[in-house]
Amino acid sequence: MSEDLVKRSRDGSVVTLTLNDPARRNAMTESMGEAFRDRIEALRDDETVRAVVLTGAGRAFSAGGDLDMIDARARAAAADRDGSGRAAVRDQMRSFYDLFLSLRELPCPSLAAVNGHAVGAGMCLALACDLRIVAREAKFALNFARLGLHPGMGATWTLPRLVGPALAAELLYTGEPVDGERAERIGLANRAVPQPEVLATARALAEAIARAAPGAIRGVKRALRRTEDSSLEAQLDFEAARQSEDFGTADAREGIAAAREGRAPRFGGA
C-alpha cells in the first residue's frame, strides 16, 4: 500500500513521519509523494499536533528523486518536437514538488531528523523543514548540475536563505557534498550529533517546542514565513496583531502567572 511508504507514529503531541523505502534509500517517487501529501493533509487541521518530526528508514534520509522517474522525463523532453513535451514535463515536475513541499503548509513546526545521506530532492525536503538535526556522518548534496539538471524543489530559494548567496552558489554550482559537522557550521543544520542520537535529539527538541503555548508557536511560524516576502513595517503590523490576539488567551494568562510564580507553565492550547 502506498501509505506504507510514509509511516506515521505519535508520542503525545509530537508526530513522527518516516520515509519508508529503505531498500531504495527512500528514493522519492510519485507514489511516496502522494502518501506524504496525504499524511500532511491529515495533520494540517489537527490542533493537538504541536510538532512533526520527519526522518528516513534505514541508513539514508533520502537519496533524492527516483532515477527511473528522472530518466523517463528526460526521454520525454528529449523526444519533444513542438514544445508540448517539455511543457508536460514542466507541469509534472511542478506537481511533484508540491507533493513533498506540502510539508510547508503545516501550521506547527517541522523538524528534519537527518539520519543519513540527503541528496538532491532529499536535501531539498530537509531544507523545507523549519529545523534540522543531522548525523555528523551524513552527507548533503544538491547534485542536480552533476546530473545535467537545473536544481528543483525550491533549492535555489531555500539554500541562500540558510547559508547566504555566495556559499549557496558554490554548493549549487559544484554539487559537492557537505558532511553533518560542516552543515552545522554553515547554518544548514541546527545541530549535528552522532547518528544513533539523531532521532532522539530531534524528538527532544520537538517536545520542548510542544511544551510552549501552541497558539503562540503557530503564530511564530506564520510570522517567520511572512518574512520571506514582507517588509519590516508589514511584519511589525502582523506581530502587533498576533500579540493582541494572544493577550486575550488563557495560555497567555497562564504563562504570565507561571513567570510570576517561578514555575513551569501548563498550557492548554486556548
SS (H, E, C) 103-131: HHHCCCCEEEEECCCEECHHHHHHHHCCE
Q: How confident is the model at residue 269 (pLDDT cuts 50, 70, 90)?
A: confident
| 145 & 218 share domain | no
**In whole numbers, what is the pLDDT of the chain averaged over residues?**
91
| Residue that finishes a domain, picked among 210, 228, 251 | 210
| 233 & 103 share domain | no
pLDDT at res. 98: 93
Paired with 140 in beta bridges are 118, 178
C-alpha cell at 239: 506581530
Q: How confident is the model at residue 237 (pLDDT cuts 50, 70, 90)?
A: confident
C-alpha cell at 129: 523543514
| 245 & 160 share domain | no
Residue type, position 77, single letter = A
Number of domains in the chain: 2
pLDDT at res. 82: 67
* Mean pLDDT of the region 129-148: 94
In whole angstroms, give the CA distance from residue 111 to residue 221. Answer: 13
| 116 & 206 share domain | yes
Print the domain residue range for 158.
Answer: 2-210
Residue type, position 154, single letter = G
Q: Flag whether 59 is in a domain.
A: yes
Whether the Cβ atoms of residue 171 and residue 159 lie closer than 8 Å to each other: yes
pLDDT at res. 149: 85
Read off the DSSP letter of residue 62: B
| Residue that finishes a domain, picked among 193, 210, 227 | 210
The total of other beta-carbon atoms located within 10 Å of residue 53's CB is: 25
* Mean pLDDT of the region 226-234: 82
The fraction of the chain above a pLDDT of 70, given in percent, is 97
| 164 & 249 share domain | no
In whole angstroms, give the CA distance from residue 108 to residue 222. Answer: 9
| 142 & 230 share domain | no
Paired with 6 in beta bridges are 19
Q: Flag whether 267 is in a domain.
A: no
* pTM assigned to the model: 0.89
| 242 & 150 share domain | no
* Mean pLDDT of the region 154-168: 94
CATH number, domain with residue 25: 3.90.226.10
In whole angstroms, give the CA distance from residue 43 to residue 103. Answer: 10
* Mean pLDDT of the region 182-209: 98
